[in-house]
Structure 1
Amino acid sequence: MSAKTLYGSANCRGCNDPITEANDSEGHVIPNALGGCLKPKRIICQTCNGVLDRLADNALIKAFGDWPTLMDIPRDRGNNPSKIVDTRNGKRVRVEPDGTLTRIDVDYNVATSGDESKIAIAAGDMKTVRQLLQRVKKQFPEFDAKAAEQYAQVVGLQDDDLLKMGLDFSPPAVFGGVVTALWIFLVTTTGRAFMDMPKLQQVIADVQTHGGMFRYLPDGLPGLVGPEISLSNKIVVRSVPSTGELIGYVEILGMLQIGGIFASAGGPAVEIEHIYVHDVIGKRDRSAEYSIDKNVFDRQNWRTVGRGPTLQDADALKAHFRRRLENVFVRRYHNRFSAAVA
């Protein structure tokens, strides 16, 4: 009996090769590193999933910078990695998922005045500190390295120093990942791919260049009704029956909100509606709490709703993301530690 028969009769929606237990990717619709936990099986093989990672998903993950670690966003598998981050005052620190910040700069300064020398050293770990002390010992044989080690102390960042934490939500960084998420989600929910792999790759290239038919939706998806969840991942696919437009919407970590026309039937079509909402911090599916107000949704002009990736909208989008950063990510970071203190 073949591996295909044992595992089921599914073929990869990318290359059409049989999917087996050995080559099934179980790829996340929204990347695991961004709190994604929806990972349908028997959709796409490891090779094709790797292609989409390189074309789109890796850039989407990178767009969120070091924030997932700083907020310790729950992952479906594995833990957030530690990150090396620069500060605005020119220091380098290691950021751990538990919030620990460790200076990793190596300083070795000798100031001589007359017969006296003042030595200042700094490092991110005691192993390096001891190596620096031995360096001092070689330069000044009378120096007592063991005694000096006892005076080593942990020094944090100065109060006026801040971490340099960036975000990049430009079309090349995020639009391709949004299209990929919608494509896999549609295959999962409808059984249809709506476009083959070569067409998908072309669409990814188009949206990364100029946005295509997708736009930023700072106020969320028009017509989507449900509770406010500060850190959530959402995917919505719904058709406009009167026009045949298939609208896709992706929201990641309550910060990035993008939607637009994914496909069009060119005329009236049957209604399609699929809603997926995952509470990232609460780690639970809350899709059943959401619905679409058809009157609001169907009257939108999906070619102009929201803001486009254009120079005219650039300032407004920057202001929006600054507010969202403060209200969502920074608040999450501070709440982690204020709750622990309380």
Structure 2
Amino acid sequence: MKNCYVCGCELTKANQSLEHIILNSIGGKLKSKKLLCKTCNSKFGGNIDDKLAKQLNVFANLLNIKRENGNPQSIKVLDEETNEEYIIEPGGKPARSKPLVKITNDGNEVKINVTARNIIESKRILKQLNKKYNQINVDDWLKNAEVKSNPISNITLHACFGGKESFRSICKTAVDYYLCTGGIQKFINHLIPYIDGEIDLNVVNFYYSKNNTPKFKKITHSIIVKGDKKNKILYSYIEFFNVCKFIVLLNGNYTGKSFIQKYCYDVIKTKEIKDNKELDLGLDEITSSLNNNDLPYHRIEEEFGKFLEFWTEKTTKEKTDEIVINAVEEMQTKFANEKFITEEMISFLSDKVAREFVKLVCKRNEHQSSFTDKKPSP
């Protein structure tokens, strides 16, 4: 058995842990039981990994990432016109954060307006109101209820990337991958106090190449670790959701063998794929990137824009498929006694699909989402 690379204890069946090299919260499937003990894994999960997970949740939420444990967290947003709070549920679906009950007096009449998120919630609210206003007939109210889409006018998704804790988590990801692919621990021992929060090191920063990336055809997580014997450097490039990109200097006086290890995971198709990225950096370029204190707002915004374009196309296709399936099922129910396809059935199906598709297009045009990246707290 191996030892925990942080505290040095021997890993046994009793204390070994399953370390997700790429966080489970963002759909990571790359993992190992030969890296950390339960104590160290739990400690890092609660003080650095959770910070990175929260920052990347906006991507996991919109894509409704498939995880081993639980679902992506909902995101709280504000309708900028009405100042009402909503949540974005996994998959990018907007919903009210809480039901809305408006009670007004109009002369001798009391007017009650209830806006709920579903029928069950409506029934619960109406039954509570009935205790005070016993003239309420719950069944009659529900019969007259209107089903409407969420009327959000304009929202802004706020996200914050980077910061000391998140950078430590990213460094741990690079170290995890290096060690699980056969790396020698002595070359990364100096990073353990940094990952553990005992010291500060300038070894992680955002990294965006000068070359602009094309439109996204897939969304991936990538890790590359390269050992360069000639230039005596050991470093890693890490990329989450095609958008958040980082460089990690693992060792600036590397004396081991030259090698390169690559891992790339398609988060939509949930499978490992071939990574064609090239990585050939010198120590000067890496050091320059690490010393650059200007956050790459514009590059992150550009990449996030491509991510949103990919997400919009993906959700539109999914919604279109759903419209067709629902319309066919409704047609089959309505014309259950028909043995052959009739002109009336074709007309019904065409009209139903066309109407729902127009609603979908109008809905897309009404909603405007933008991205704001903030400087992380120190």
TM-score normalized with structure 2 length: 0.73
Q: Distance in 1 between matches of 2:291 and 2:314?
A: 32
Partner of 1:272: 259
- 2:142 is aligned to 149
CA contact (8 A) 1:216 1:307 kept: no
Distance 1:124 1:46, change over 3 A: same
1:254-273 to 2 correspondences below 5 Å? 254-265=242-253, 270-273=257-260
Whole-Å separation in 2 of the counterparts to 1:254 and 1:291: 12
Say whether 1:331 aligns with 2:319: no
1:303 is the counterpart of 2:287: yes
Q: Which residue of 1 aligns with 2:236?
A: 248
Q: Out of 153, 156, 169, which is 1:177 matched to? A: 169
Instruction: Say which is worse superposed, 90-99 or 111-120, in terms of deviation.
Output: 90-99
Counterparts in 2 of 1:228 and 1:307: CA distance versus 1, 3 Å: farther
CA contact (8 A) 1:91 1:105 kept: no
Tell me which amino acid in the other structure corresponds to 2:106. S
Corresponding letter in the other structure for 1:53: G
Aligned length: 315
* Alpha carbons of structure 1 residues 138 and 74: separation in structure 2 relative to 1, 3 Å: closer
Correspondent of 2:298 among 319, 333, 338? 319
Q: Is the 8 A contact 1:103 1:156 kept in 2?
A: no
Alignment of 1:154-233 (within 5 A): 154-162=147-155, 164-193=156-185, 194-196=187-189, 199-203=191-195, 205=197, 212-219=202-209, 230-233=218-221
Q: Give the Å deviation of 1:126.
A: 3.0
Task: Check whether the contact 1:19–1:42 (CA below 8 A) recurs between aligned residues.
Answer: yes
Match of 2:9 among 3, 12, 17: 17
Separation of aligned partners in 2, 1:108 and 1:291: 54
Kept after mapping to 1: 8 A contact 2:191/2:250: no
TM-score (norm 1): 0.80
Asked whether the equivalents of residues 245 and 263 of structure 1 are also in contact (C-alpha less than 8 Å), the reply is yes
- Look up the match of 1:286: 273
Q: Which moved more, 1:271-280 or 1:121-130?
A: 121-130
Deviation, structure 1 residue 285: 2.1
Offset of residue 178 of structure 1: 1.0
- Any idea what the Cα deviations from partners look like across 1:146-193, whole Å, max 9, x if unmatched? 31122223333225233x433211223531111010111111112422
Q: Give the secondary structure class of the aligned counterpart of 1:66.
A: helix
CA contact (8 A) 2:231 2:282 kept: no
Q: Which residue of 2 aligns with 1:133?
A: 126
DSSP 3-state at the match of 2:238: strand
In structure 1, how many angstroms separate the alpha carbons of the residues matched to 2:165 and 2:6? 22
Structure 1 Cα separation of the partners of residues 229 and 297 of structure 2? 34
Kindly report the root-mean-square deviation, in angstroms, between the aligned alpha carbons of the 2 structures: 3.1
Q: Output the CA distance in 2 between the equivalents of 1:17 and 1:203.
A: 17
2:78 corresponds, among 73, 87, 100, to 87
Listed one character per residue, the Cα deviations across residues 169-228 of structure 1 (whole Å, up to 9, x for unaligned) are: 1223531111010111111112422344x8513256489x6x7132211228x9xxxx97
What is the one-letter code of the residue matched to 1:233? H
Question: What are the equivalent positions in structure 2 for 1:26-41 lying under 5 Å apart?
Answer: 26-41=18-33
Q: CA-to-partner distance for each residue in 1:245-266, whole Å, 9 max, x for gaps?
A: 2112111111111104221226
Partner Cα separation in structure 2 for residue 256 and residue 243 of structure 1: 27
Residue identity (%): 18
The aligned residue for residue 351 of structure 2 is none
The equivalent residue for 2:40 is 48
Tell me which stretches of 4 or more aligned residues in structure 1 moved more than 6 Å: none
Counterpart-to-counterpart distance in 2, 1:114 and 1:305: 69
In structure 2, runs of 5+ residues without a counterpart are 322-378
3-state DSSP of counterpart to 1:265: coil
The match for 1:4 is none
Displacement of 1:298: 4.2
Q: Is the 8 A contact 2:172 2:195 kept in 1?
A: no
User: Residues 104 and 125 of structure 1 are in contact (CA less than 8 Å); yes or no, is this contact kept in structure 2?
Assistant: no
